[in-house]
Chain A
Amino acid sequence: MMNEQSVRLDRMRFTKNTTSSRLAILAIVFDVLYFVSLYKINVDYYYTLIMGASILYNLVFMLAAFLSSEGVKNYKQGFSYVLCVLGIIQIARIFILPIPAHATTVKVGGAELLAMSDGQFTRVVIYLIASAACLFAAAAVNLVKSRALKAHIASLEGQGA
């Protein structure tokens, strides 16, 4: 006779890890909000190589995060590590574009202005941190669940042997 805890574990054999999967998708949503906010940056600062690389990386990020969301949905442990790496990169991106842009001034109509305003800077940083947090949470939840499921399946196989 299974207790409630065992039933909860046993359920995972047939149900998807939707928590991790949805968190990974949410991370993509925050990334979209990030780059939509970022591309409002002052045009003089906009046309740089680093901005081009950022656009390309966004595409790579969305693909990787989406595939990982499908992976963690099926309790694949390896995708937790992929999500962690993506999360670290999201944090690192704060230092690559927003901080330098926030420290740079451009001349608009003779006036010296910040390339990225305080408000815009705060928003993009929040989006990147939120995106990273979702990725870390998705990875952590998946790690815990997949390990528990693995142990449960091993115990079931032990009972059957």
Chain B
Amino acid sequence: MAELSLHHIDKIYDNNVQAVYDFNIDIKDGELIVLVGPSGCGKSTTLRMVAGLEDISNGNLLLDGRDITRVPAKDRDMAMVFQNYALYGHMTIYENMAFSLVLRKEDPNVIHKKVLAAAEILGLTSQLNKKPSQLSGGQRQRVAMGRSIVRSPKVFLFDEPLSNLDAKLRGATRREILLLHKRLNATMMYVTHDQTEALTLADRIVCMSMGHVQQIGTPLELYDSPNNTFVAGFIGLPPMNFFDVTFQDGALKGKGFEVQLSDEEKATLADYNRKQITLGVRPEDIAEGGSLTVKVFSNENLGMNTLVHGHMGDNLRVSAKLRGWSNYRAGDTVQLGFKRKHFFDKETTNAIRKGDR
């Protein structure tokens, strides 16, 4: 049982630079929360505050209802997995995994059982007598996770654990983390700047920018109903296309192009008549056969899909993810249409949803 609550957490450094503003979240027992955002957005700082490696300037941190804001890191019953593994090179894998328990002076037989159980979970049983230098990056990261598992902490904290791995290994290790979470059913906080990791791992995602929480929600909520242009642009690969348009006469009019709207979309934008808004369209929501003429400048075949980059209207850049294999050449024109649209207030950048006003 481990419920973690962050209430109005701020981080202000001695030089008065504020890294985190009013962070609030209640993490349920067994939930995997992913903090995602670009470099410098405050996600690692938040994680380090939870771990006790950074002081919390304002706010409260509660673990199972107990205030641990000022509790030292060693007494928080949390285990952290770092990007650079932080393994002891002169120790074997067994000794690395057992180390924290040895320091706690636990019974050697108990330590042995815990290490073997963790190694079994992580598929490291045959590697226990090796040194970290003899293992691959993925295996080393699993050792780092094993070192956390043996402690049976209340909360697992992961600080960009897959960043040092190549793409293939990252995918495999990501699946292992997911299986591990399901198996242990432990409360986890996971920091990454990789939105693919966030979308595939998270029960809920916290999207951050410049120290502010932009949106907290399930991966589908963040993908499907982004709160603002930042979240819309950050979640999804390739990123969402944005166009400045004016809602007028039941249509969106941009520079050199016009998009007709459905009745439901018109109703959503009822309060924005003759006003400028931001239209967001995901590349995967663009399909061939519409009324928009796009002049192609780049064609990337991804196997199942083709990523087509071009210009439409008054030299507006657009990226479309088209189904199947296409062979457009630079200079070709293609007719495209928008299937699903997102609308954002031009001034606030917040999403415009039906009944918002």
Q: Which residues of A contact B (CB under 8 A)?
A: 2, 4, 7-8, 10-11, 13-15
A8 to chain B: closest CB distance in Å? 6
- Out of B95, B112, B129, name the residue touching A10 (CB < 8 Å): B112
Q: How far is the CA of A14 from the CA of B112 in the complex (A)?
A: 9
- Out of B92, B109, B129, name the residue touching A11 (CB < 8 Å): B109
6 A-B pairs with the lowest CB-CB distances in the bound complex, closest first = A14-B94, A7-B109, A11-B112, A14-B128, A7-B112, A4-B109
B132 to chain A: closest CB distance in Å? 15
Q: Mark B91-129, 1 if CB is under 8 A from A, else 0.
A: 010110000000000001100110110000000000011
23 contacts between A and B (CB under 8 A): A2-B113, A4-B109, A7-B109, A7-B112, A7-B113, A8-B108, A8-B109, A10-B112, A10-B116, A11-B108, A11-B109, A11-B112, A13-B128, A13-B129, A14-B92, A14-B94, A14-B95, A14-B112, A14-B115, A14-B128, A14-B129, A15-B94, A15-B95
Contacts of A8 in B (CB 8 A): 108-109
Contacts of B115 in A (CB 8 A): 14
Q: Which residues of B contact A (CB under 8 A)?
A: 92, 94-95, 108-109, 112-113, 115-116, 128-129
Q: How far is the CA of A13 from the CA of B113 in the complex (A)?
A: 13
A7-B109, A11-B112 known; 9 new pairs, CB 8 Å cut-off, are A4-B109, A7-B112, A10-B112, A10-B116, A11-B109, A13-B128, A14-B115, A14-B128, A15-B94
Contacts of B95 in A (CB 8 A): 14-15
Contacts of B116 in A (CB 8 A): 10
Contacts of A4 in B (CB 8 A): 109
Contacts of B108 in A (CB 8 A): 8, 11
Contacts of A13 in B (CB 8 A): 128-129
Chain A: which residue is nearest B97 at the CB level? A14
Chain B: which residue is nearest A4 at the CB level? B109
A156 to chain B: closest CB distance in Å? 12
Q: How far is the CA of A10 from the CA of B129 in the complex (A)?
A: 13
Q: How far is the CA of A7 from the CA of B112 in the complex (A)?
A: 7
Q: How far is the CA of A11 from the CA of B129 in the complex (A)?
A: 11
A90 to chain B: closest CB distance in Å? 31
B85 to chain A: closest CB distance in Å? 20
Residue among A2, A4, A8, A15 with the highest chain B CB neighbour number at 10 A: A15
Q: How far is the CA of A10 from the CA of B109 in the complex (A)?
A: 9
B323 to chain A: closest CB distance in Å? 50
Q: How far is the CA of A14 from the CA of B111 in the complex (A)?
A: 12
Chain A: which residue is nearest B110 at the CB level? A7
Contacts of A2 in B (CB 8 A): 113
A62 to chain B: closest CB distance in Å? 23
Contacts of A15 in B (CB 8 A): 94-95
